Amino acid sequence: MGLLGARHPARLVAAGFALAVVVGTAVLMLPIATESGESTSAVTALFTATSAVCVTGLVVVDTGSHWSMFGELTILTLIQVGGLGIMTLASMLGLIVARRMGLRMQLVAQAETRSVQLGDSRRVVIGVIVLSLAVEAVIAAILSTRFIVGYDENVGRGIYLGIFHAISAYNNAGFSLYADSLMPFASDLWILVPIVVGFVIGGLGFPVVFEAYRRLLRRLRSATAPARGWSLHTKITVITYAILAVAGAVAITAAEWSNPATLGPMGLVDKVTNGVFQGMSPRTVGFNSIDIGAMHPSSLLVTDMLMFIGGGSAGTAGGIKVTTFALLAFVVIAEIRGEPTVHVMGRNLAPTVQRQAITVVLLGVGAVVASTLAIMFMTEYRLETVLFEVVSAFATVGLSTGITADLPAGAQLLLVLLMFVGRLGPITLATALALRERGRRYEYPEERPIVG
């Protein structure tokens, strides 16, 4: 990666994504990118390009009606570049961190994380690309068939709709060619289920999916091969993701069950289906099958929490990541029990990892609080509405109560910054903290201030 890349890989990642945003903004400002043939304003183009590259999905203009096919394809390209870039670069940064460890730590890491071996840089890049294209192709085929057969779209239009929404789903982008997202398909499992499968696979992260693939391949090649345990990262990610998915689906379904503007008028099956979909969508795909602006305040709060936590590491989901959330939960449990060290599924959690997790979470909370206050000073919207938009931007989700397009330019630019920081911040910050780890030749006398 070169001398600069070895010393400052996080800077290269940020610079690469910033360049993609700049190029995307310039292209979207071209008259050919709009249906009207007129140039789009710099703020609108910048907002859209950032939302696409950071696979967020927040928009200030309707994607299907404002942009021409050239503009839509530009957005789709930015989504693909952003999604593949995040998965590849996050995995590569993990390898860089591993190489900077001591030999003993490298051997331990290699034994523990069999999903991505040391020296597997080429395999990581190829694996991310192959996995992404394969999943997108399968989902696109299903969606395209449904659009053609079930909604009388011509073949060309049906394939285009299928490909666009498949790429948007897998990359957790949430961009839709329909003004009201997936609300027209609230009763169609042939649309909703493939979308869920796509954003779950993308949201779990490449290390988890790759480990599952290698384990399945090993089983198929030799049914008598000795079973190997899952890595700690995979176990934490899958278990925590599943728990939050179930909790979110139950909470949203219960809160919206009788809401006449959301689940209320639906039948039993549709209520459950859309409750589950809307409980999983905040992890961070940004599609919605019910009206977000009409949801109960308690549902908005639950969604805020789910969005902030996000999905798996080295995936297309945003947020602080489920592993960070789970590790902090283990720290709290150990402290409540009065245990001197933190144990996670038969492993001892290093103090440096604990501090890194706390740092990522507190800086994320600080960014959300400061941005919420700033936008509330600029506008007259209520706290729960502004907080929802801010968390959605920071966690690169894309769900919106409908105020994004009506925000002043200053607030929209703040959301642009928040999307960029939220997309790259947790990854680059965690990498920078790990690479800055170093020993200390002395310690001061210990003292215990009063806590609480």
Q: What single string gives the DSSP state of each residue in 215-230?
A: HHHHHHH-TTSPP-PP
159 Cβ neighbours under 8 A, 6+ residues apart: 140, 144, 148
Query: What burial class does residue 410 get, using C-beta atoms within 10 Å of its C-beta: 0-12 exposed, 13-18 middle, 19+ buried?
Result: middle
Encoded tokens for 427: 């990854």
- What gap in Å lies between CA 319 and CA 426, rounded to an integer? 8
Residue 204 contacts residue 145 (beta carbons within 8 Å): no
Find, among 129, 135, 198, the residue nearest to 169 by Cα.
198
Residue 285 contacts residue 397 (beta carbons within 8 Å): yes
SS3 content of the chain, % helix, strand, coil (to 5): 70, 0, 30
> Side-chain half-sphere of 218: how many Cα atoms within 13 Å?
14
Encoded tokens for 221: 């090649």
Residue 127 contacts residue 115 (beta carbons within 8 Å): no
Q: Mind giving me the DSSP string for 357-407?
A: HHHHHHHHHHHHHHHHHHHHHH----HHHHHHHHHHHHTT-----S-GGGS
Residue 22 has a CB neighbour count (10 Å cut-off) of 14
What does each of the 452 residues of the chain score in pLDDT, given as a tens digit? Answer: 444 444 455 667 777 888 999 999 999 999 999 999 999 999 999 999 999 999 999 999 999 999 999 999 999 999 998 888 776 665 555 555 554 434 333 333 333 333 444 445 667 777 778 888 999 999 999 999 999 999 999 999 999 999 999 999 999 999 999 999 999 999 999 999 999 999 999 888 878 888 888 888 877 777 655 556 788 888 999 999 999 999 999 999 999 999 999 999 999 999 999 999 999 999 778 899 999 999 999 999 999 999 999 988 777 788 899 999 999 999 999 999 989 889 888 888 888 788 888 888 998 999 999 999 999 999 999 999 999 999 999 999 999 999 999 999 999 999 999 999 888 776 666 555 555 556 667 677 877 787 77
- What local confidence, expressed as pLDDT, does residue 441 receive? 72
- What gap in Å lies between CA 227 and CA 210, rounded to an integer? 16
- What gap in Å lies between CA 347 and CA 329, rounded to an integer? 15
Query: What burial class does residue 210 get, using C-beta atoms within 10 Å of its C-beta: 0-12 exposed, 13-18 middle, 19+ buried?
Result: buried
273 Cβ neighbours under 8 A, 6+ residues apart: 186, 187, 189, 192
Find, among 211, 210, 173, 161, the residue nearest to 86 by Cα.
173
Residue 300 has a CB neighbour count (10 Å cut-off) of 19
Find, among 183, 102, 185, the residue nearest to 150 by Cα.
185
- What gap in Å lies between CA 51 and CA 159, rounded to an integer? 24
- What local confidence, expressed as pLDDT, does residue 100 receive? 47
CA torsion sign for 112, 117, 121, 126 is negative
- What gap in Å lies between CA 105 and CA 91, rounded to an integer? 18
- What local confidence, expressed as pLDDT, does residue 253 receive? 96
> Side-chain half-sphere of 438: how many Cα atoms within 13 Å?
6
Query: What burial class does residue 444 get, using C-beta atoms within 10 Å of its C-beta: 0-12 exposed, 13-18 middle, 19+ buried?
Result: exposed
Look up residue 332 and give its amino acid.
V
- What gap in Å lies between CA 199 and CA 288, rounded to an integer? 13
Under DSSP, is residue 349 helix (H, G, I), strand (E, B) or coil? strand
Find, among 388, 381, 452, the residue nearest to 415 by Cα.
388
